[in-house]
């Protein structure tokens, strides 16, 4: 793309770091994830009226 097209584009340009691929599929903080899931299981969400 030309620079003018990039400047006028409404879509952001995102470049991902290739080093992040080593974390794909891994749970980095299993204890915090377990605690968050426990809190969400006990949480009562408001009823949505349609």
The reported pLDDT for the residue numbered 22 is 93
User: In this structure, is residue 47 part of a structural domain?
Assistant: no
Distance CA 31, CA 37 (A): 10
Looking at every residue in the chain, the average pLDDT score rounds to 87
What is the pTM for the complete model shown? 0.47
> Residue 33 — pLDDT band, cuts 50, 70, 90?
very high
DSSP state of 20: G
Average pLDDT (7-23) is 85
Whether pLDDT at 3 is above 90: no
User: In this structure, is residue 49 part of a structural domain?
Assistant: no
Q: E strands of 1-50, at which residues? A: none
Contacts of residue 1, defined as CB under 8 A and 6 or more positions apart, other chains included, come to 9
> Residue 5 — pLDDT band, cuts 50, 70, 90?
confident
Please state the domain count of the chain: 1
Distance CA 2, CA 26 (A): 38
Q: Whole domain around residue 8: which residue ranges? A: 3-42
User: In this structure, is residue 17 part of a structural domain?
Assistant: yes
């Amino acid at each position: 793309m030309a620079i003018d097209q990039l400047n006028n584009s409404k879509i952001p340009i995102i470049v991902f770091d290739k080093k992040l691929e080593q974390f794909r599929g891994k749970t980095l903080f299993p204890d915090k994830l377990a605690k968050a899931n426990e809190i969400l299981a006990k949480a009562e969400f408001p009823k949505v009226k349609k």
